[in-house]
Chain A
Amino acid sequence: MAEFLQFAFSGLTVGAVYALVALGFTLIYNASDVVNFAQGDFVMIGGMSTVFLYATGVPLPLAAIIAILTAVIVGLLLHRLAIEPARGASPVTLIIITIGASMFIRGVAQIVFDKQFHQLPAFSGDRPIEILGATLLPQSLWVLGGGLAVFVALWLFLERTLVGKAVLATAANRLGARLVGINTAVILAIAFGVSAAIGALAGVLATPITLTRFDLGTIMTLKGFAAAMLGGMGSPLGAVVGGLLLGLIEAFGAGYISSVYKDGFSFIAILVVLFVMPRGLFGGRSVERV
């Protein structure tokens, strides 16, 4: 029982990080059908900026806020300098642009920051919480809570606010959205800014667990993308469920079967889900456009 619980805690911790990254994909995808492959780099910017600001003596909460704002600026610049000039291009072209942007951000980060791994102190101490013989770090609760908060906020934003509806309308039909008076360029800029903020928040919360380095974005993008695909690209609920599920599959796979094939299990699970439900677990809502 203690063993089972320990694997579950491990899965939830890692899964919550994946879920937070996956949530970042949701908004840009909803606004433009673009999968932003620089999403993981926002996570890195959030973590690294906080680390470096904190090291210069800035209090942790303030450092985190500045880091998130930095990421938002980078996100807006990414939209303004790379996505906006290519407007009208197909989503595939835009996706390739984001891959290029990701490489660029990584290159700059090597120079602005450095090439070493860094850590942040856990927000509420390192003393593990013991539950039935298994242990959970308080920081895991922060990540889980952060994921939940972002999920609720994102859901409310998309379903309950006019701007959120405008995002969905832009995704559904850009021309139609423009005809009813939505400035689609502004909507897309908002999507990039908010996605960057979500990514950076993920970086701040996860760094005490995952540590961070200039090239952390690559693996974060990969895992977050897998989680988003599993749950259904574009659905906030899907991102959370997909992330947690991916983390749990990895932990139980490593714990009960073999740690060598850990990543294999998660990819097999994704393949199976996508065979049966090509739009992911919660992605069935969107309608085929003609």
Chain B
Amino acid sequence: MSKLASRLLGLGVSALAVAGLATTALAADPIKIGSVLSATGPAAFLGDPEKRTLEIYVERINAAGGVLGRPLELVLYDDGGDANKARTFATRLIEDDEVAAMVGGTTTGTTMAMMPVFEDASVPFISLAGAVEIIEPVREYVFKTPHTDRMACEKIFADIKARGFTKVGLISGTDGFGKSMRAQCMAVIGNFGIEVVADESYGPTDSDMTPQLTKVKNAAGVQAVVNPGFGQGPAIVTRNYAQLGIGLPLYQSHGVASKSFIELAGPAAEGVRLPSPALAVAEKLPDTDAQKPVVVEYKKLYEEKTGQPVSTFGGYAYDGLHLLVAAIQKADSAEPDAIRDALEATAGFVGTSGVFTMSPTDHMGLKVDSFRMLEIKDGDWTLVEVGG
């Protein structure tokens, strides 16, 4: 290291020390919560609501006196959807910012890249990404809040089975989400006595899926069609499906459980079913539903503060942050290991995605029934009973 650099470093360290002294003098030490999100880039439509949610609620929690009498300090980095950047920021959170825990990881790709950093440093990491690989096998310090794609498949197949169908066509996106969900669906489909008679795919940026859907339509005996996919693909599939007049029940995934899907697909979306967290139908839940107060409150606050419709993705961040806050309160400590133990002991926590009960073998804590089966009617969601 050159002389200049070491002198600069020395300056920096003393400046930091002064700053540290100043904050302790002013208020109780803040609890640092790290977050690396894909707020820009191709996954921005996920990361952006997550970022806003974290900012809104950290501010709100601090306004109400913080946690354990200490304010929360959110250290937020934007990885732009790049797994390499995510890992660099994760290292920075651990080494420079010394956070107590992390809520973030917008995509499965960025989460997988950051996981080893938190495992090595023994700092709890609550991921907001979907794939089941994040919690299987269980890693000591890694948790996640969204449902897995396997649960979505199980919910869909249970409904198909209850309606008396046994032969389905699959049309999946070749992006990470579509591929992973297709693999999970193939793994569990046997348990429901359902058979795949057509298995097609499309690229994440394709703008016409009629050739693939024509093949699905002409497959012998096909009774329903399932579309594991994400982004604009499912909207185009739904439009092409109507264009071809296929007329069989169409199932989409929880990946498109937002109002924008209905807008993008237009009238073609009528009758489409999909599994979704309760958030999409907040006001339509029966008053007896344990989740109703939570989702209605979150939806109201988010829409008021941002002027944008609420999405389930922001809900994942809500759950992550509040699980963490609950764990800190329960542990009565902001030490990473104490938080980890408390997180693992989470029981009956009511979030936007469902009721979380974690265990040493389950670091997500949601059951299949936390998914609701929705059907699109008159351009809006309606709750349907499985098989109804």
Q: List A209-267 residues whose CB lies under 8 Å from chain B.
A: 209-211, 213, 215, 219, 251-252, 254-255, 259-260, 262-263
Shortest A104–chain B CB gap in Å is 14
A2-B365 Cα distance, complex, nearest whole Å: 49
**Segment with Cβ contacts to A, from B101-109, B183-191, B196-204, B332-340:** B196-204
By a CB distance below 8 angstroms, the chain A residues around B239 are 126
Q: Name which residue of chain A comes closest to B261, CB basis.
A: A117
Shortest B216–chain A CB gap in Å is 10
By a CB distance below 8 angstroms, the chain B residues around A192 are none
Q: Which residues of A contact B (CB under 8 A)?
A: 3, 6-7, 9-10, 13-14, 17, 110, 115-119, 121, 126, 128, 135, 137, 206, 209-211, 213, 215, 219, 251-252, 254-255, 259-260, 262-263
**Segment with Cβ contacts to A, from B37-45, B155-163, B344-352:** B37-45
Within 8 Å by CB of B215, from A211, A255, A262, lies A255
Asked if B236 CB lies within 8 Å of chain A CBs, one says: yes
Instruction: Establish whether residues B40 and A110, one from each chain, have CB atoms under 8 Å apart when the complex forms.
Output: yes
Asked if B267 CB lies within 8 Å of chain A CBs, one says: yes
A211-B40 Cα distance, complex, nearest whole Å: 19
By a CB distance below 8 angstroms, the chain B residues around A254 are 202, 211-212
Per-position contact with A for B207-233: 1 when CB-CB < 8 Å, else 0?
110111011001000000000000110
A168-B211 Cα distance, complex, nearest whole Å: 40
By a CB distance below 8 angstroms, the chain B residues around A110 are 40, 44
Instruction: Establish whether residues B232 and A211, one from each chain, have CB atoms under 8 Å apart when the complex forms.
Output: yes
| Contact A119/B211 with A137-B243, A260-B201, A263-B203 known, Cβ cut-off 8 Å | no
Instruction: Establish whether residues B44 and A3, one from each chain, have CB atoms under 8 Å apart when the complex forms.
Output: no
A6-B244 Cα distance, complex, nearest whole Å: 9
Shortest B382–chain A CB gap in Å is 22
Q: Name which residue of chain B comes closest to A254, CB basis.
A: B211
A117-B311 Cα distance, complex, nearest whole Å: 14
Shortest A268–chain B CB gap in Å is 16
Q: 8 interchain pairs (CB within 8 A)?
A: A10-B210, A119-B235, A121-B266, A126-B239, A251-B211, A259-B202, A262-B206, A263-B203
Instruction: Establish whether residues A215 and B42, one from each chain, have CB atoms under 8 Å apart when the complex forms.
Output: yes
Shortest B172–chain A CB gap in Å is 10
Shortest A258–chain B CB gap in Å is 9
By a CB distance below 8 angstroms, the chain B residues around A115 are 40, 44-45, 48
Asked if B260 CB lies within 8 Å of chain A CBs, one says: yes
Q: Name which residue of chain B comes closest to A13, CB basis.
A: B208
By a CB distance below 8 angstroms, the chain A residues around B214 are 3, 6-7, 255
Q: Name which residue of chain A comes closest to B264, CB basis.
A: A119
Instruction: Establish whether residues B210 and A259, one from each chain, have CB atoms under 8 Å apart when the complex forms.
Output: no
Shortest A203–chain B CB gap in Å is 12
Shortest B381–chain A CB gap in Å is 18
A206-B232 Cα distance, complex, nearest whole Å: 14
Shortest A142–chain B CB gap in Å is 14
A252-B208 Cα distance, complex, nearest whole Å: 12
Instruction: Establish whether residues A259 and B212, one from each chain, have CB atoms under 8 Å apart when the complex forms.
Output: yes
Shortest B70–chain A CB gap in Å is 34
Asked if B321 CB lies within 8 Å of chain A CBs, one says: no
By a CB distance below 8 angstroms, the chain A residues around B236 are 210-211
A240-B48 Cα distance, complex, nearest whole Å: 39
Shortest B341–chain A CB gap in Å is 37
Asked if B268 CB lies within 8 Å of chain A CBs, one says: yes
| Contact A7/B45 with A110-B40, A126-B267, A126-B268 known, Cβ cut-off 8 Å | no
Instruction: Establish whether residues B207 and A14, one from each chain, have CB atoms under 8 Å apart when the complex forms.
Output: yes
Asked if B286 CB lies within 8 Å of chain A CBs, one says: no
A14-B212 Cα distance, complex, nearest whole Å: 14
Instruction: Establish whether residues B231 and A14, one from each chain, have CB atoms under 8 Å apart when the complex forms.
Output: no
Q: Name which residue of chain B comes closest to A127, CB basis.
A: B243
Q: Name which residue of chain B comes closest to A247, CB basis.
A: B208
Q: Name which residue of chain A comes closest to B214, CB basis.
A: A6
Q: 9 nearest interchain CB pairs?
A: A255-B211, A210-B207, A115-B44, A10-B210, A219-B205, A254-B211, A117-B232, A128-B243, A211-B232
Instruction: Establish whether residues A126 and B266, one from each chain, have CB atoms under 8 Å apart when the complex forms.
Output: yes
Shortest B123–chain A CB gap in Å is 29
Instruction: Establish whether residues A117 and B231, one from each chain, have CB atoms under 8 Å apart when the complex forms.
Output: yes
A7-B202 Cα distance, complex, nearest whole Å: 14
A210-B203 Cα distance, complex, nearest whole Å: 13
| Contact A259/B264 with A137-B243, A215-B42 known, Cβ cut-off 8 Å | no
Instruction: Taking A210-B207, A252-B211, A259-B211 as given, write out 11 further A-B residue pairs in contact, using a Cβ cutoff of 8 Å, ordered by the A residue number.
Output: A7-B214, A9-B210, A110-B44, A115-B44, A116-B260, A117-B231, A118-B264, A119-B263, A126-B267, A262-B203, A263-B203
